[in-house]
């Protein structure tokens, strides 16, 4: 076989190997529900199984069916085939890891807002930005739209608050200050915040506007101060909630704030872990790299496992399929409540109907009348 023919069969072999490796990766992605490796998503694994099997059958049938003579004739040496196989492997790996990142947004973004009638306002200030959810019949009138809270000279709390246009009075409500996970916006908590507001809570969802330590420690106290001064809120019934890194921040901030009466941590990280390829079950490869790089240092600095609030209710809620940060049994040994929602992953947990209902019930019991 002449040199040009050897190059040609080598390139054809690379194409064959590329298709076969991509096909095999789709079968693996379907088997292990790896959203960061699947080209078609994991909601319907049958599609990925079908795509992978089809690619394997077509590539093997095409290459060995049409190039049998060249394959079994003296041709490129084993080292040369290894070179072409390496090229194919790199190309296939790039396809399987990078295309999912381009095709889909992170699973925690792009949520459709629920169709409910709630009062909602966007708050901005020097200390951050957030979204305020108020139960039906509430109002933002007379309350500054800033997170600076007590520094703005808020109006004195009336002895009995009355909503405009309503007869009678209403007692101040319990409130919850919430923090989303790393890389998520306030909309990622909209289903949970909406449900809590429907249950009568005033809910403030803050953005993680900074990832600089210790600056981010001021975010939650600012939100709690805002809620404590709100005329519709009972300052003795304020809880905090966080997801992912926001859960660690909620635990750490609440440990030094006696005004916080209850803490719910959804998918907390607690300790530095090595998620490995498990990260592809939650997000794409590039998203996973950003998540792992940003959380590694902050988790160590927050040290939330060492700052679990003592003497106050604390809920640690995890997904049964969350393999990014396996929870430490020591957390439950300190009197905290640890619960698991089976079938949920780290970033799907705050959107899970079961988790939303459980969290609302838990706050209702701890912050109720």
Whether residue 350 is contained in a domain is answered as yes
CA distance 34 to 176: 34
Provide the pLDDT for residue 326.
58
CB burial of 309-330 (b: ≥16 within 10 Å; e: otherwise) equals beebbbbbbbbebbbbbebeee
* Domains held by the chain: number: 2
Q: Is residue 163 part of a domain?
A: no
How confident is the model at residue 138, as a pLDDT?
65
Q: How would you label 193-232 residue by residue, b for 16+ Cβ within 10 Å and e otherwise?
A: bbbbbbbbbbbbbbbbeeeeeeebbebbbbbbbbbbbbbb
Q: Which two tokens stand for residue 50?
A: 């079908």
Q: Among residues 243, 221, 258, which one has the least CA distance to residue 347?
A: 243
**Mean pLDDT per 10-residue interval, the chain, length 369 residues:** 72 85 86 81 85 89 75 59 74 75 46 35 54 74 41 35 41 91 82 92 84 81 89 92 90 86 89 70 73 75 78 88 65 66 86 93 87
Final residue in a domain of this structure, among 78, 103, 128: 103
Q: Give the Cα separation of 259 and 45 in Å (integer).
A: 47
**160 in any annotated domain:** no
Is there a single domain that holds both residue 59 and residue 148? Answer: no
**Gap between the Cα atoms of 154 and 231, Å rounded:** 9
Residue 55 lies in a domain: yes
Catalogue the long-range contacts made by 27-30 (C-beta closer than 8 Å, 24 or more residues apart): 27/52, 27/53, 27/56, 29/96, 29/280
Q: What angle (nearest 5°) sits at the alpha carbon of residue 100, between those of residues 96 and 106?
A: 145
In a domain, 166, yes or no: no
d(CA 236, CA 200): 16
Same domain, 96 and 123: no
Q: Starting from the edge strand earliest in sequence, which strands make up the sheet with 119-125, in order? A: 119-125, 128-134, 202-206, 173-179, 233-243, 260-266, 314-319, 337-341
Rounded to a whole number of angstroms, the distance between the first and last alpha carbons of the chain is: 87
Does 74 share its domain with 125?
Answer: no
Q: Is residue 108 part of a domain?
A: no
Same domain, 90 and 142: no
| Whether 148 and 52 share a structural domain | no
- State whether 128 and 36 are in the same domain: no
Domain containing 60 equals 3-103
Residue 159 within a domain:
no
Tell me how far apart the alpha carbons of residues 202 and 196 are, in angstroms, rounded to a whole number.
8
Tell whether 109 is covered by a domain: no
Pair 97, 129 in one domain? no
Closest CA to 37 of 244, 323, 278: 278
Q: What is the predicted pLDDT for the residue at 363?
A: 95
* Domain at 272, CATH number: 3.40.50.1820
72 and 187 assigned to the same domain? no
Query: What's the CA dihedral at 33, 38, 40, 42 to 10 degrees?
Result: 10
**Beta bridge pairs of residue 264:** 241, 315
Q: What is the pLDDT of residue 166?
A: 41
d(CA 181, CA 179): 7
Instruction: Specify which residues 242 forms β-bridges with.
Output: 179, 265
Same domain, 187 and 214: yes
Task: Indicate whether 71 and 175 sit together in one domain.
Answer: no
pLDDT of 365: 93
- What pLDDT, on a 0 to 100 scale, did the predictor assign at position 359? 94
Same domain as 196, residue 54: no
pTM score, whole prediction: 0.70
pLDDT of residue 353: 93
Q: Residues 231, 274: one domain?
A: yes
């Amino acid at each position: 076989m002449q040199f040009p023919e050897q190059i040609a069969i080598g390139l054809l072999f690379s194409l064959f190997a590329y298709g076969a490796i991509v096909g095999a990766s789709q079968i693996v992605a379907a088997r292990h529900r790896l959203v960061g490796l699947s080209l078609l998503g994991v909601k319907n694994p049958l599609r990925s199984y079908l795509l992978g099997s089809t690619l394997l059958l077509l590539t093997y049938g095409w290459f060995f069916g049409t190039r049998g003579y060249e394959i079994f004739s003296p041709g490129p040496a084993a080292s040369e085939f290894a070179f072409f196989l390496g090229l194919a492997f790199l190309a296939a790996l790039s396809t399987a890891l990078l295309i999912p990142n381009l095709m889909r947004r992170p699973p925690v973004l792009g949520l459709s807002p629920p169709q409910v009638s709630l009062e909602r306002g966007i708050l901005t200030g020097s200390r951050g930005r957030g979204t305020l959810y108020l139960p039906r019949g509430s109002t933002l009138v007379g309350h500054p739209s800033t997170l600076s809270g007590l520094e703005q000279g808020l109006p004195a709390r009336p002895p009995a608050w009355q909503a405009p246009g309503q007869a009678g009075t209403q007692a101040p409500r319990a409130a919850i200050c919430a923090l989303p996970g790393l890389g998520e916006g306030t909309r990622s908590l909209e289903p949970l915040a909406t449900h809590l507001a429907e249950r009568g809570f005033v809910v403030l969802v803050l953005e993680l506007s900074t990832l600089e330590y210790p600056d981010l420690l001021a975010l939650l106290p600012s939100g709690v101060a805002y809620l404590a001064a709100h005329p519709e809120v009972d300052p003795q019934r304020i809880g905090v909630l966080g997801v992912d890194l926001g859960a660690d921040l909620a635990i750490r901030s609440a440990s030094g704030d006696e005004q916080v009466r209850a803490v719910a941590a959804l998918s907390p990280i607690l300790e530095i872990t090595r998620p490995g390829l498990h990260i592809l079950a939650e997000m794409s490869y590039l998203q996973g790299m950003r998540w792992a790089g940003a959380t590694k240092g902050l988790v160590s600095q927050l040290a939330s496992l060492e700052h679990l609030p003592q003497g106050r209710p604390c809920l640690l809620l995890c997904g049964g399929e969350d393999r990014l940060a396996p929870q430490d049994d020591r957390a439950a040994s300190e009197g905290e409540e640890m619960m698991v929602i089976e079938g949920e992953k780290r970033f799907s947990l705050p959107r899970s109907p079961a988790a939303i209902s459980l969290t609302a019930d838990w706050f209702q019991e701890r912050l109720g009348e």
